[in-house]
Structure 1
Amino acid sequence: MAQKIKVLIVDDSALIRQMLTSILSNDPAIEVVGAAPDALKAREMIKRLNPDVVTLDIEMPKMNGIDFLRKIMTLRPMPVVMISTLTQNGANITLQALEIGAVDFVAKPQQDVQRNLEDKAKEITDKVKAAAGARIRPLEEIDSDHAAQNKVAPLVNSGGDKNIVVFGASTGGVEAIRTVLSRLPSNMPPIFIVQHMPKQFTTTFAKRLDKLCAMDVHEAEDYMVAKAGHVYLAPGDKHLRVARSKGELVCRLVDGNPVSGHIPSVDVLFDSVCHVSPTETIGVMLSGMGRDGAESMLKLKQAGAYNVGQDEASCVVYGMPKAAFERGAVHKQVDIKKIADELISLCDSNGEASE
């Protein structure tokens, strides 16, 4: 029998500690080894209990979750899943936590917390399990990467045969997307992105990316005309499709049920460009849990697109890129720090994908 995943819960609410303990203990693969009301107690329990995963509240007395996360990722890097509120401020702080090195987050509603957390039981256990197998980097390595992400010169020979770029990402995708976009020039073809996260978080994520990148980053709106030099992020509550309207590429936002388990869905985005200009498209699959996008990425490849997958060594969770690669949908697997160069080569009219 496989060894159970040892989890430490850190939250100042006794109710939340009790509920998370109950939810996680119901999974036979997980053992809750302790629950701490604050960071100081948690620090002692981490040393004593040696957990595999920590769930960490953001707003706590004595030391907040962000400060404590920085200490964890500096002194004892380990998988952390943040428990954050569904508010604008909660979204900002959560994205900061993901940039520091947290693997993932669970959005905690402010009202009727008990019922809503119970509804999220599968999401919570799935994210803890994924975190247990995640690749964790120390904070100094992450900070070094952030410092290296500088604005780059525009494409010298824009106007190659690749005029659409589509990204799919989930767990680990926030940092992966940041890493790629911050290394791209201002005159890249339009980029469309699906990152699995709630609506409140995609709005904030788009704004954070816009400050970091040479390209202009937007949360997509229905019938927004897509232009070179712009990035369009799917809202967290709608599917994003690429379409043509009056000869122009546009974003189409679609209500509907989850596809491949998600709204927005990578499969929906990738499938849409199969019907627009697949031979002009580059598909990119980044770190994520599950299989969303694998089937439609194969369709893209068969229709003439060129597809890049993040390689296993640089993924936080090698789930979605692995599923696409094993399906035969990926032309080339690339380290996250080199994907931008790959895209630049493909979009430069004098360039080609590197070997």
Structure 2
Amino acid sequence: MNTIRVLVVDDSAFMRKMIQEILEADHRITVVGTARNGEEGLKKVKELSPDIITLDVEMPKMDGLTCLKEIMRSYPLPVVMLSSMTTRGGENTLKAMEYGAVDFIEKPSGSISLNINSIAEKIVGKVIAASKANLNEVNKSVVSPVVASSATIDAKRFVYSKGKQDLIAIGTSTGGPRALQQVLTALPKDYPAPIVIVQHMPPGFTKSLAQRLDRLCEISVKEAEDQEILHGGVAYIAPGNYHMKIQYQRNLIIHLDQTDATKGHRPSVDVLFSSIARINSINMTAVIMTGMGSDGALGLEQLKKSNNSVAVIAESEKSSIVFGMPKAAILTHLVDEVVHVNEISLALMKRVGGHKR
């Protein structure tokens, strides 16, 4: 079996050494070279032809974002970014996703020498997942954000659902920020249903994601808050390191907690879906998009068992950056529609609101 050939680009000699040791401890990975900055990284890409690159965001001479743009323009490869957990780090990480990075790894805080090994499993997992990424879809989506035009929105007039309240729940992971942007920017500002979202991300990054999407979308997008009442036309993103559960107490209300991680995830799509499965008084649409692993599949089973009116949409393999979570959902045989990411917003508009007036 051919090993995954990785180039490590980081300005810290210690980080380069530690990342190399972590990756090469897995028999599936070989580090073919290292580089101290973006300029050197580009030269090594040309010389070594790696399969995948780990790329630090903040470096001298040429920073990671500049290097990433050049890589995607001249030598398109799967790239996993390393980013610090700061406001600026979160913003730059989302820019990196826009420029074509497949995923990112949060740099450990505090004493790096003590904490780097705590994310060893995550580094290896994300590098292996990125090596299988749908790079054609990444390259196609590295464009300016496509926001629904006012003409498109004005043409869409929906009949609000009567009787039961509508709720959209979305679960996603690797490639999710890009996919969420494609879906949410196409929804009209008068979209009647609230949308709750689990995106696998560390604390801090989910807030940056929500703020960025809020700037791009006609609907409102925010990081969820505990005990918040859900409103139509608003998308709520679960904060990193908190499970998001939905409860019904005359209104649909968000409950955040830090109970144990599920399948290594907090927030967890399974936890979100399982909480909604306990509510019988809503029309539910569940969406599973691009991501590594199988989070959400178990929750779908609980949803379908408890509520026959649940509609389940999965992103197609063609558009998924990583076809893990959607594939696991499809294998449950409970998915009603499998669609390209560009068609998910249309499916949601057909599902909630019925026909155009």
Question: Taking structure 1 as the reference length, what is the TM-score of the superposition?
Answer: 0.94
Unaligned runs of 5+ residues in structure 2 are: none
Give me the whole-angstrom Cα distance separating, in 2, the residues matched to 1:316 and 1:138. Answer: 7
Partner of 1:242: 246
Partner of 1:136: 135
Partner of 2:206: 202
Partner of 1:349: 354
Which residue, out of 322, 328, 345, partners 2:327? 322
Give me the whole-angstrom Cα distance separating, in 1, the residues matched to 2:281 and 2:60. Answer: 52
Partner of 1:109: 108
Query: Are 1:206 and 1:233, in contact at CA under 8 Å, matched by a contact in 2?
Result: yes
Give me the whole-angstrom Cα distance separating, in 2, the residues matched to 1:170 and 1:3. Answer: 26
Partner of 1:192: 196
Where do 1:117-266 residues align within 5 Å?
Answer: 117-137=116-136, 141-144=140-143, 146-147=145-146, 149-150=148-149, 152-153=152-153, 155-160=156-161, 163-188=166-191, 189-245=193-249, 247-266=250-269
Unaligned runs of 5+ residues in structure 1 are: none
Query: Are 2:168 and 2:194, in contact at CA under 8 Å, matched by a contact in 1?
Result: yes
- Whether 1:41 and 2:27 are equivalent positions in the alignment is no
- Whether 1:294 and 2:297 are equivalent positions in the alignment is yes
Which residue, out of 265, 270, 278, partners 1:267? 270
Give me the whole-angstrom Cα distance separating, in 1, the residues matched to 2:88 and 2:30. Answer: 32
Query: Are 1:73 and 1:139, in contact at CA under 8 Å, matched by a contact in 2?
Result: no
Give me the whole-angstrom Cα distance separating, in 2, the residues matched to 1:141 and 1:24. Answer: 29
One-letter amino acid of the structure 2 residue matched with residue 324 of structure 1: A
* Greater mean alpha carbon deviation, residues 130-139 or residues 181-190: 130-139
Give the drift of 1:278: 7.1
Indicate the SS of the match to 2:72.
helix
- Whether 1:23 and 2:26 are equivalent positions in the alignment is no
Q: 1:308 to 1:165 in 2, by over 3 A?
A: same
Give the drift of 1:139: 7.5
* Cα deviation digits, residues 293-328 of structure 1 (max 9, x gap): 101112223322000000001000000000010111
Give the drift of 1:97: 0.3
Query: Are 1:221 and 1:251, in contact at CA under 8 Å, matched by a contact in 2?
Result: yes
Partner of 1:51: 50
Query: Are 1:298 and 1:330, in contact at CA under 8 Å, matched by a contact in 2?
Result: no
* Cα deviation digits, residues 257-316 of structure 1 (max 9, x gap): 101220000001011111114760000001000011101112223322000000001000
Give me the whole-angstrom Cα distance separating, in 2, the residues matched to 1:22 and 1:96. Answer: 28
One-letter amino acid of the structure 2 residue matched with residue 237 of structure 1: N
Question: Taking structure 2 as the reference length, what is the TM-score of the superposition?
Answer: 0.94
One-letter amino acid of the structure 1 residue matched with residue 334 of structure 2: A
Query: Are 2:147 and 2:217, in contact at CA under 8 Å, matched by a contact in 1?
Result: no
Query: Are 1:278 and 1:300, in contact at CA under 8 Å, matched by a contact in 2?
Result: no
Give me the whole-angstrom Cα distance separating, in 2, the residues matched to 1:73 and 1:136. Answer: 10
Which residue, out of 305, 311, 319, partners 2:316? 311
Give me the whole-angstrom Cα distance separating, in 2, the residues matched to 1:138 and 1:77. Answer: 12
Query: Are 1:162 and 1:346, in contact at CA under 8 Å, matched by a contact in 2?
Result: no
Give the drift of 1:49: 1.1
Give me the whole-angstrom Cα distance separating, in 1, the residues matched to 2:297 and 2:336. Answer: 13
